[in-house]
A and B are shown apart, each in its own frame.
Chain A
Amino acid sequence: MSATTSETAAPTPSSLSPGARKDLRRSLREAERRAQELHSGRSGYWFLLPFAVVFLVFLVWPILYGIWMSLTDRTLIGTEPGFVGLANFIEAFGDAQVWQTLWQTVLFTIGSTIPLVLIAMVMALLVFTGLPGQWLWRFAFFASFLLPVAVVTQVWAWMYQPDLGLFNTWLGALGFEPVGWLTDENWAMIAIIAATVWWTVGFNFLLYLAALQAIPEHLYEAAAIDGAGAWRRLFSITIPQLGRTTWLVLALQLLASLKVFDQIYLLTAGGPNGSTRSILLYIYDTGFVNYRLGYASAISYIFFALIVILSLTRFFGGRKEA
């Protein structure tokens, strides 16, 4: 908890001398004191109240309720749930399905994150060159991000269609055998990753574009005076200046990819033969198909713990970065 509060002070540039920092801190404290004079009394509570209510009802309570559920053998069908202690957790750690779906989630995460970061960066660099057609480039790269997931999966399922789909038609024209994009265990994950990259790369593209616009121009002017060529400027100024953004994009993308559910559920439902099932799909199947809510909650919390550990690593890594 204390670590998170210090993040709010993070905008403090580390380049400040300790004395200046102390001054800054004093003025911050001063500002707080004045804020106190301004709105002392109870008004703060009233401003916070609506958020506090939805936060407690729709976030904190489900978290606590989920923990309790994970300690029971609760099912979706009416039978009275009994307390089973840590049995669900013990079962989860010994459940080969948990490990297999976790592994597939990691595969998806690695397989999607790399292209989602690299392609986004290349797109942003190309667009930032200012070549004519800006509106079109931005539209083409970002529009797919605005599509509801079901639209994305229907369009891609249609292109992946084994007999009439676009891809197999092209393969046939080139003289290759048709591929069972969504039905072949060797291809299904790749097919899902391709659709995912197409769908969400636009978001990372925008983050990179914003970062490029923020690079101070004098760096390029200095480089121009030194006679640095275009490649030199790209690798010595632009890409290093994007370092912080790359860490941010990478971290956001890792966390987002680990939570993959929608597109897999709609494209393959985890098949063929469970080869594209992510951990969230397993949780969904356990809870809403097999009705084992207690066990599903237990797996949820194991997954949650992994996410928290990863977020904290990112947080501490990010702080060193800043």
Chain B
Amino acid sequence: MATQSLVLPEVSTRRAIRRADSQRSTRLLLGSSTTARTLAMIALVLMTAIWLLPFAWAIITSFKTETDAASAATVWPASGWSLQAYVNVLTKGDLPVWMLNSVITAVLVTAITLVVSAMAGYAFSRTMFRGRRLAFAITVASIMVPGQILIVPLFQQMLTFRMVDTYAGIVLPQVVAPVMVFILKKFFDAIPQELLDAARVDGAGPWRTFSTIVVPLSKSILVAVAIFVFIGAWNNFLWPFIVVSDSSLMTIPVGIATVTETYGLQYARTMASAMLAALPLLVVFMLFQRQIVRGVATTGLGGQ
């Protein structure tokens, strides 16, 4: 409660700033012309309609009976709306298991990537050791390596390590993220040395400095990186598809890709499973739109 009352005024100022921002940009880009505003609005509504259409059509199909879905592409089904497709997917398929697998693997990938990359970024930014420059140069150069070309040797490696059809096999090859090391290093570079010196005077060693000064100061970029890595891991298709063949270990993208074949021509059921697979991340996005937008933009722009 106490924290809430502290936070509220800050939020309302931010909202005021946002409102002022949007008013300003309206004036700056469009001027006060009503025609321009109307035209822009029409364009926006049209594009939004186009972009939402596939969602709308999938949702409509998913609430039809199989017979209606397979009869004609009309919005209103002849025999009324039905939840049967969802019931079937949730009770008869493996979807809940895939969902769980996706959560477990995506959380693990995110957590490990974050810890490993933040530590490496700190090593490159604030410590001295022999070979640091060379190691950093190699890390940066490796950003260019397209992961997909490594699937053949990586799969062989998984066979050797007996990691085919395991969580470890899905997760570990995904935690190598040199671009995140680069982004975090750049962010750490900007932390004023005085703060670190102060910690040192207080007798803090490198570990204390890292965990009590650097990490708290870098919350924003760490959240941004975490969001980016999580989305990537949640939606990764190729690698889990190759390393897992056991249905009980599949992640959502891999699992529902095989669903079409299993369900054959059951369109309502296919769309119901697609929408359920889409739901978790869409809900998270609805709740945290601001943070996600900022996180993706910052990370996508290389931490600038």
Contact = CB atoms under 8 A, between A and B. Distances in A.
Interface string B18-38: 000111111011110100110
B298 interface: yes
Most A Cβ at <10 Å: residue of B43, B73, B185, B286? B73
A86 to B, nearest CB: 18
Contacts of B256: 148, 150-151, 154
Given A5-B137, A146-B231, A169-B73, A127 B44 contact: yes
Contacts of B193: 31, 34-35
Given A43-B127, A166-B57, A311 B144 contact: yes
B58 A39 contact: no
Interface in A99-114: none
A236 to B, nearest CB: 13
Nearest to B74: A169
Most B Cβ at <10 Å: residue of A34, A48, A145, A287? A48
B40 A5 contact: no
A42 to B, nearest CB: 7
B115 to A, nearest CB: 7
A206 interface: yes
A62 B23 contact: no
B72 A149 contact: no
B175 interface: yes
A104 to B, nearest CB: 16
Contact of A58 (B41, B172, B289): B172
B277 A54 contact: no
How big is the A interface, by class?
A: 35 or more
A289 interface: no
Given A138-B293, A148-B237, A210-B298, A300 B152 contact: yes
Most B Cβ at <10 Å: residue of A54, A136, A238, A308? A54
Contacts of A220: 28
A141 interface: yes
Nearest to B172: A58
How big is the B interface, by class?
A: 35 or more
Interface SS of A by simple majority:
helix
Contacts of B141: 1, 4
B207 to A, nearest CB: 8
Given A62-B153, A149-B237, A154 B196 contact: no
A177 B9 CA distance: 61
Interface in A233-268: 233-234, 238, 245, 248, 252, 255, 259, 261-262, 266
Contacts of B152: 66, 69, 283, 287, 293, 296-297, 300
A131 B234 contact: no
A77 interface: no
A54 B285 contact: no
Contacts of A2: 137
Interface of A: 1-2, 4-5, 7-8, 31-32, 34-36, 38-40, 42-45, 47-48, 50-52, 54-55, 57-59, 61-63, 65-66, 69, 122-123, 125-131, 133-151, 153-159, 161, 164-166, 169, 198, 203, 206-207, 209-212, 217, 220, 224, 229-230, 233-234, 238, 245, 248, 252, 255, 259, 261-262, 266, 280, 283-284, 287-288, 293, 296-297, 300-301, 303-304, 307-308, 311
Interface of B: 21-26, 28-31, 33, 36-37, 40-41, 43-44, 47-48, 51-52, 54-55, 57-58, 61, 69-73, 115-117, 119-120, 122-124, 126-129, 132-142, 144-146, 148-157, 172-173, 175-176, 178, 181, 185-186, 193, 196-197, 200, 205-207, 209-210, 231, 234-235, 237-238, 242, 252-254, 256-257, 259-260, 267, 270-271, 274-275, 277-278, 281-282, 285-286, 289, 293-294, 296-298, 300-302
3 closest A-B pairs by beta carbon, nearest first, are A44-B127, A130-B22, A51-B120
